[in-house]
Amino acid sequence: MTAHERREQLVAVSRTLFAEKGFEGASIEEIAARASVSKPVVYEHFGGKEGVYAVVVDREIQALTGALTSALDLGGHPKIIVERMTFALLDYIETNEAGFRVLVRDSPVAQATGSFSSLIGDVASEVEHLLAEQFRRRGLDPRTAPIYAQMLVGMVALTGQHWLDSRQLKKEEVAAHLVNLAWNGLAGLERKPRLVGDHGPIHSA
């Protein structure tokens, strides 16, 4: 293998191991063993477990951020934007299960700025602006937009974590029910919710 190929192999092996055992549960010995290399090779590329973990988390954050940003940037009716963001997150979870499991675990490397919770907070900040404009149009207090943004994004994120383990419903069904609650509220729930937009996989540029 070239140095680049070896590095990519180690990242892929580490991603799987961190998803299975978390940061604390994984070890350099296991990473090296699964990659069929010696421990010094891992240290040479990343300096230690913290280094390779940081690379894995950064790549997953970039992938998820790209998907969610693309959903926001497309614009359109607010309900369609909510649908796209919901579907983008569920689509990421479905296609990057190991990566998502890494993101939602706590670790000493990614607590403040490189964590799933901080990413969700960033997304909520973007949603806040959309909600504030809609609140003004509907005669609602735009100062409450930030808390509603946290509610919406947090609801989708936590549901995504639950769906990853249960998989009792199809992705499209989960998205439709999430949007049903987010858009209609408990008092206005539709009996058979469905998405109104076309939601294929969203890829960042």
Contacts of 191 (CB under 8 A, 6+ apart): none
Two tokens, residue 84: 């796209």
Containing 18, the helix (H) or strand (E) segment is helix 3-25
Comparing CA positions, the residue from 46, 63, 64 lying closest to residue 55 is 46
The number of residues in the chain equals: 205
Residue carrying the six token digits 């010696």: 38
More confident residue, 33 or 167: 33
CA–CA dist 152, 48 (Å, integer): 38
pLDDT higher than threshold 70 for residue 127 = yes
Rounded to the nearest integer, the mean pLDDT of the chain is 84
Which residues neighbour 186 within 8 Å (Cβ) at sequence distance 6 or greater?
none
Instruction: Band the pLDDT of 110: cuts 50, 70, 90.
Output: very low
Distance (Å, whole) CA 26 – CA 18: 6
Averaged over 45-65, what is the pLDDT? Answer: 90
Residue 35 contacts residue 76 (beta carbons within 8 Å): no
Distance, C-alpha 27 to centroid of its chain? 25
Q: Does 109 or 139 have the greater pLDDT score?
A: 139
Q: What's this model's pTM, rounded to 2 decimal places? A: 0.75
Query: What's the mean pLDDT in 179-184?
Result: 88
Question: Tell me, what's the pLDDT at 108?
Answer: 52
Indicate if the pLDDT at residue 202 is higher than 60: no
**Over the stretch 11-28, which tens digit does the pLDDT of each residue have?**
999 999 999 998 889 999
Q: Residue 205's closest CA among 60, 67, 57, 53? A: 67
Q: Catalogue all structural domains in the chain, each as residue range(s) with its CATH number.
A: 55-188 (1.10.357.10)
* pLDDT at position 119 over 80: no
